[in-house]
Structure 1
Amino acid sequence: MSPDTVSPDTRFRLSSQALPSGSVVGPQQLVPELGGENLSPDLAWELVPEDTASFALTCYDPDAPTGSGFWHWIAWDIPADARSLPLGLPREDAVVKQAANDFGRIGYDGPQPPPGAPHRYIFTLHALPVAELGVDPSAPHVQARFAIFSQQLDAASFTVTYKAS
């Protein structure tokens, strides 16, 4: 059965109380330059695919004027028994590995788009068949993203927006 024919009630799902799907990013998740607190959102997931041995997380802005988008968060080695991440995950977490984002900082950094059209921020949780991704967090995030996307069993996403004035 293809993912498109599976009932939404039985599909892998990702959600956030701080950033409900389709919402506009609020001050808690914005960078300080825009008056924000720059806290990663709380995340929760359910209906995990069979054979999941760990999770990885990405946050991506496909609308950034770079030709290749902008990566706000790349995290992996989230344990298979986890079903949530807290609001404000520390940049140096004891369990979850995080790469430097496109701002050049480890962990999550919120929206800071140039003035103009709204930007989309896609949060995706990737179910992986391996307990450890085997990528050095100090390596460029493209290495972690390649390992994540080439191995994922399934992924759950939601999208939020933000428009700079």
Structure 2
Amino acid sequence: MKLTHALPALAVAMTLNAQAFEVTSQDIQEGHPMAKTFEFSGMGCDGANVSPQLTWKQAPAGTKSFAITAYDPDAPTGSGWWHWVVLNVPATTNALPRGASGNIKAALETQTDYGKAGFGGACPPEGHGMHRYQFTVWALPKAQIDLPADTPPAVVGYTLNSLAIDKATLTATYTR
């Protein structure tokens, strides 16, 4: 009888001790504005267009690769705006330095909504208010996601959502 009552408490204790998959950054903070360094260079924006440093930990069991995306759900498009899409990041990787875009070993950077591969920084319309930029690391059960580099970002997003074991998101903001 005592064992039956102890099992729910044990399950709660085990859940509380489990570490969650998470992403952090030395460059951007949850809920805080990003620096101009991470603003796009073009389309009326004149930032440095540098990708931020990202670190992730506690990847779930079965992770064979990671994907990284940066997405603005507040873009006035009706479908948001994809700023960065990276596939096939080796499971042995747990961080990317600032400015990693274009130099991520064994990974594939696919097309963004800017029409080209690689990081495209924040560039909300002037006066449009604060936009959120969701930097997400996806834990995937496959070492390779076989999509061409010119795959539309929404198709990549659909693919990642259908495959992901787990994901961790860090949301920063930007206003012009």
Question: Out of 31, 34, 57, which is 1:25 matched to?
Answer: 34
CA distance in 2: counterparts of 1:66 and 1:86, whole angstroms: 30
Structure 1 residues 93 and 84: CA distance shift in structure 2, 3 A = closer
- One-letter code of the match for 1:100? Q
Q: Name stretches of at least 5 consecutive residues in structure 2 with no aligned partner.
A: 1-13
The aligned residue for residue 37 of structure 1 is 48
Residue 93 of structure 2 corresponds to 82
- How many residues of Structure 1 are paired with residues of Structure 2 in the alignment? 160
Is residue 2:60 matched to residue 1:53?
A: no
Taking only the aligned residue pairs, the percentage that are identical comes to 35
- Pick one of 122, 136, 141 that aligns with 2:153: 141
Query: What amino acid is aligned across from residue 95 of structure 1 in structure 2?
Result: A
- The TM-score, its normalising length taken from structure 1, stands at 0.90
Amino acid at match of 2:20: R
CA distance, structure 1, for counterparts of residue 168 and residue 161 of structure 2: 13
Partners of 2:119 and 2:113 lie apart in 1 by 10
Cα distance change of structure 1 residues 94 and 13 upon mapping to structure 2, 3 Å threshold: closer
The amino acid that maps onto 2:144 is E
| Equivalent-residue separation in structure 1 for 2:104 and 2:172 (angstroms) | 25
Contact 1:135 1:143 in 2 (8 A): no
Write the deviation string for residues 42-87 of structure 1: whole angstroms up to 9, x where unpaired. 1100011000000001111011110011110111100001010111
Q: Following the alignment from structure 1 to structure 2, what is the Cα–Cα distance between the partners of residues 63 and 163?
A: 11
Alpha-carbon distance between aligned partners in 2 of 1:111 and 1:87, rounded to the nearest angstrom: 15
The residue aligned with 1:160 is 172
The farther-off stretch of 90-99 and 61-70 is 90-99
Cα gap change, 1:104/1:122 in structure 2, threshold over 3 Å: closer, same or farther?
A: same
Q: How many Å apart are 1:37 and its aligned residue?
A: 1.0
RMSD: 1.8
Match of 1:118 in 2: 130
Report what 2:80 is aligned to: 69
* Residues 8 and 36 (structure 1), Cα distance of their counterparts in 2 relative to 1, 3 Å cut: farther
Structure 1 unpaired stretches of 5+: none
Q: Structure 1 residue 97 and structure 2 residue 108: aligned?
A: yes
**Amino acid paired to 2:54:** L
Name the SS for the 2:159 alignment partner.
helix
CA–CA distance in 2 between the matches of 1:37 and 1:22? Answer: 21
What's the CA shift for 1:8?
8.8
- The structural deviation recorded for 1:7 is 4.3
Tell me how far 1:146 sits from its aligned partner. 2.1
Greater mean alpha carbon deviation, residues 131-140 or residues 8-17:
8-17
Task: Spell out, residue by residue over 1:82-126, the C-alpha distance to the aligned partner (whole angstroms, 9 max, x if none).
Answer: 010111113364411011111112111111111222000011100
Runs of 4+ in 1 over 3 A off after TM superposition: 5-9
SS at match of 1:149: helix
